[in-house]
Amino acid sequence: MHITVLGTRGEVAESAPFHSRHSGILIDETLLFDLGEREFLDERPDHIFITHLHPDHAFFVTGPASFDIPVSGPEAYDDAVTVTVIDGPAYLGPYTITPVPTHHSKLVKSAAYLVRKGGESLLYTGDLIWINREYHTLFDPVDLVITDGSLIRKGGRIRRDPETGVLYGHNGIPDLVRLFAPYTTRILFVHFGSWFYEDIEAAREKIAALGEEYGVSVSAAHDGMELETAGPVFPLGQSSLSRFGG
Ligand SMILES: [Zn+2]
Ligand SMILES: [Zn+2]
């Protein structure tokens, strides 16, 4: 599968080129995962899957919108845009899209998506604390994981609602590498928090170094990055931005 990373900015103010758009992952120019920016509609995907109903993943929950592309997500939404619940595998042409329940918010439901086409596979998560162990067999193994780069510190920022006991927030990048390293050889981070923008070059190196620690290839994505699910390991210590003059 051919992947275009449309956006890599988390829930922070826009401050840097190549990391200015909210979440969006386009597969083979036909399936779009997360709709963090209205302009992603210009790609004219056949189907859109939303990880959760936060505006940096579904711009239409805070802004007016109208379009005729089907949208699926972990919970229903019915306003100017309708989101249909996906609670089991969807079969679209050569693709099987399986939702995987995730922990992230106390107010909205969230899901990651496992996408298979032929022998190739991709797991894309939105914002993430953890995935229950019972679901890990779904992505054991997977060619590529694309996940949440909000926080670099171990443990991330996780809170517990005192009334319901529900956990919410984001885990740290080291914890997510530890979560996925047993199941894949390549992890790509998107959805960067403010830590990343303080020194982007140092941040990229920090992320790559975590891969070495856990024995997997780990990299930081940028807006417009293109890659293949079954591609080679990420080049170490080499900025893929250089060819853009960034
Ligand atoms: Zn969120
Ligand atoms: Zn987010």
Gap from CA of 190 to ligand 2 centroid (Å): 10
Gap from CA of 19 to ligand 2 centroid (Å): 14
What angle (nearest 5°) sits at the alpha carbon of residue 194, between those of residues 16 and 152? 120
- Is the confidence at residue 234, as pLDDT, over 90? no
Positive/negative CA dihedral, 45, 111, 160, 132: negative
Average the pLDDT over 115-132 and give the result. Answer: 98
Strand blocks (E) in the chain: 2-7, 24-27, 31-33, 47-49, 71-73, 77-78, 82-85, 90-92, 95-102, 110-117, 120-124, 144-148, 157-160, 167-170, 186-190, 217-220, 226-228
User: Is residue 240 included in any domain, yes or no?
Assistant: no
Gap from CA of 75 to ligand 2 centroid (Å): 16
Q: How far apart are CA 211 and CA 191, in angstroms?
A: 18
Q: How far apart are CA 180 and CA 144, in angstroms?
A: 10
User: Is residue 134 included in any domain, yes or no?
Assistant: yes
* pLDDT tens-digit series, residues 2-41: 999 999 999 999 999 999 999 999 999 999 999 999 999 9
User: Is residue 115 included in any domain, yes or no?
Assistant: yes
User: Is residue 244 included in any domain, yes or no?
Assistant: no
**How many of the other CB atoms lie within 10 Å of CB of 63?**
10
Closest-lying ligand to the alpha carbon of 54?
1
Gap from CA of 11 to ligand 2 centroid (Å): 5
pLDDT attached to residue 237 = 45
Single-letter amino acid, residue 139: F
User: Is residue 237 included in any domain, yes or no?
Assistant: no
Single-letter amino acid, residue 235: P
User: Is residue 236 included in any domain, yes or no?
Assistant: no
For 76, phi then psi, to 5°, come to -75, 150
Per DSSP bridges, beta strands 95-102 and 110-117 are: antiparallel
pLDDT attached to residue 177 = 98
Number of domains in the chain: 1
Percentage of residues in the chain having pLDDT higher than 70: 95
Single-letter amino acid, residue 62: T
User: Is residue 157 included in any domain, yes or no?
Assistant: yes
Gap from CA of 179 to ligand 2 centroid (Å): 19
* pLDDT tens-digit series, residues 148-181: 999 999 999 999 999 999 999 999 999 999 999 9
Any idea how long the chain is? 246
CATH number, residue 187: 3.60.15.10
Q: How far apart are CA 191 and CA 150, in angstroms?
A: 6
Show the domain range for 70. 2-229
Gap from CA of 241 to ligand 1 centroid (Å): 27
Gap from CA of 54 to ligand 2 centroid (Å): 7
Gap from CA of 119 to ligand 1 centroid (Å): 30
CA dihedral 69, 70, 76, 82 (to 10 degrees): 40
Gap from CA of 10 to ligand 2 centroid (Å): 5
Closest-lying ligand to the alpha carbon of 53?
1
User: Is residue 56 included in any domain, yes or no?
Assistant: yes
- Is the confidence at residue 244, as pLDDT, over 50? no
